[in-house]
Structure 1
Amino acid sequence: MAASTAALRGITKQYKDFTLGPVDMTVPAGSIVGLIGENGAGKTTLLKILCGVNRADDGTVDLLGGFPADAATRAKIGVVFEDAFFYGSFTAAQVARSLAGMYGARWNADSFSAYLRRFGLDAGKKLKEYSRGMRLKLSLAAALAHDPELLVLDEATAGLDPVVRGELLDLFLEFIQDERHSIVMSSHITADLEQIADSIAYLHNGQLLFQENKDDLLQEYGVLHCGEDVLTSLPAGLVVFTRRGAYGCESLVRERRTVQELLPEAVCDAARLDDIMRFYSGRDAQ
């Protein structure tokens, strides 16, 4: 069994109108875990519990052999949250001095400067003059410059153009190459996760529906297009949810190859992550 960078067991968090969990999730060493889910599913809450920003009501978090409450353990992670920011009046150079005091011996000023050069960021420019993409790159440079073992990203590529996103995805793949580093990354841009994630964890209405190998997941699920009479011939359990329209049925199915063998005349396309989320949401909304 592969070693885990992080393992969450029985995690729960109760708010007035929302309950997270219980959630069991693992982050294998040297891998990228893609966390998907609708708005309000609890992704940010779960990641903040993982990082020690929030405390769970129940359950345990094993983080890099320690616990999120330990300052020494938290120093081994790099975090980029969508709503995180540095003061707009700061320059990147001032950010570096501030973080050097926070991380102490772990902080690598040369590494931070190298990331600034790689990202084309002016260390003397005030952050309020940065674009969103530039601010995100600065956050990543800050998160990476102390050589974290785990990188936690919450919607880090949201709102960025495809060129910048591609640049960052390449960086993430570089980060895990030595199999010592890991990433857990939430994103609504599921195409990014299809490109780089090793496994997908689907959080839906506060519950983790599954965490599966990405390639296995995309091979397992299909979108079946057929008539109602054909659909009813399938064994129970293969159909997750069906949308019915004037021109037939569209269904999310498990065991796509089995469905194709049973219905060779029907069209059963490979499902994307967007499809899986769309049909599960439709099922629960019914």
Structure 2
Amino acid sequence: MDTILSLQNVTRSFSGFSLGPVDLQVPGGAILGLIGENGAGKTTTLRLILGALRRDGGKVTVFGRDLDREAPHIREDVGVVFDECCFHESMTPHNLDFIFSGIYQNWSPKEFQRLCRTLQLPMKRKIKEFSRGMKMKLSIAVAMAHRPRLLLLDEATSGLDPVVRDDVLELLQEFVSDEEHSVLFSSHITEDLEKIADYVAYLHQGKLQFVRPKDTLLYEFGVVKCGKKEFAKMDTGDFLAWRENAFEVQALTENRRSAQRKYPDCVIDPAGLEDIMLLYSKGTQGRGRERP
């Protein structure tokens, strides 16, 4: 399976914030979910992939081509959707069809009209009359109608109702079904990524904590729950992170079956992506570190 997108040792620093180094690959036919709290560096990462920001270091390759040398050609094959519709409110989908056919070499009026029908978007209604969900579906239709091989989405399902979100997720799964297309989907809606992502990358305070197959996270990771006295007797090296509250300690393990054998008196639940993100971001990170 070919690698569609590769980031190698990518870094970028601002005043008060540093991103990286970020290393990740997105294979063909895969959806990679990028999670992290607000300000973790998700949008910055997407802007670096697009070449909209200069990197301090590292390398980005898309379709095996160096972004620095072939950015204009690469962008023709990349579709982008941000969390806000950027089209003028007086436009209609029919207007956009005409405009973008003169911008993208691979623009397909037939595909755009098919997508609009599928997403129930009236071609001649002005965008100012669209709901937020309709505007986001229009953004996705535009991003896909020039037949890109890679889609980059930044919080594209944020604020959408469950029905519209499900429509969008189905469209993304259809997009990667031939294994020649890929999606990098930045989102804080972990439920969406649990449904469709093949891999999950987690950014925390600008640092890439892990890139794992989603199924590994959902079927092997676990949350150990116990009292504070019981936790004080445990080996913190068994845990990636832990968090104490008034009633109990919750600790993240990457092998819940092994943890269940070692700590049979504890409750150990499967870990969802939200559990993992909360324990990393609000808890104490482990792997043998001493607790304060």
How high is the TM-score relative to the length of structure 2? Answer: 0.93
- Name 2:119's counterpart in structure 1: 119
Larger deviation, residues 270-279 vs 60-69 = 60-69
Give the distance between the partners of 2:92 and 2:217, measured in 1 at CA.
Answer: 44
The residue correspondences of 1:213-228 to structure 2 (distance < 5 A) are 213-228=213-228
Aligned to 1:248: 248
Shift in Å at residue 201 of structure 1? 0.3
Q: Deviations over 1:147-201 (max 9, x none)?
A: 1101111101000111111111111111111000100001111011011100000
What secondary structure does 2:148 align onto?
Answer: coil
Say whether the 8 Å CA contact 1:241–1:282 is kept in structure 2.
no
Aligned partners of 2:247, 2:73: CA distance in 1, in Å? 60
Query: 5+ unaligned residues in a row in structure 2: which ranges?
Result: 286-291
Query: 1:63 is matched with which residue?
Result: 62
For 1:92, the aligned partner's letter is: P
Letter in structure 2 aligned against 1:91: T
> Structure 1 75/222 Cα, relative in aligned 2: closer, same or farther at 3 Å?
same
Which residue matches 1:85?
86
Q: Deviations over 1:77-131 (max 9, x none)?
A: 1110113511111111111111111102x01001001111111111111111111
Counterpart residue type for residue 170 of structure 1: E
Q: Distance in 1 between matches of 2:36 and 2:30?
A: 20
> What are structure 1's unaligned runs of at least 5 residues?
none
CA distance in 2, matches of 1:162, 1:179: 27
* Deviation, structure 1 residue 17: 1.9
CA distance in 1, matches of 2:126, 2:254: 52
**Do 2:241 and 2:284's aligned partners in 1 also have CA atoms closer than 8 Å?**
no
Q: Does 1:206 align with 2:215?
A: no
Contact 2:84 2:136 in 1 (8 A): no
2:38 maps to which residue? 39
Instruction: Say what the alpha-carbon RMSD is for the aligned residues.
Output: 1.6
2:95 maps to amino acid: Q
Within-5 A mapping of 1:240-279: 240-279=240-279
In structure 1, C-alpha distance between the alignment counterparts of 2:284 and 2:269, rounded to whole Å: 23
Residues 24-173 of structure 1 mapped to structure 2, 5 A cutoff: 24-69=23-68, 70-104=71-105, 106-173=106-173
Q: What SS does the aligned partner of 2:121 have?
A: coil
Aligned residue pair count: 284
SS in 1 for 2:91: coil
Q: Percent identity?
A: 44
Deviation at 1:253, TM superposition (A): 2.4
Q: Given that residues 13 and 58 in structure 1 are in contact (C-alpha distance below 8 angstroms), is that contact kept between their aligned partners in structure 2? A: yes
Determine helix, strand or coil for the equivalent of 2:59.
Answer: strand
Kept after mapping to 1: 8 A contact 2:85/2:136: no
- What amino acid is aligned across from residue 189 of structure 1 in structure 2? I
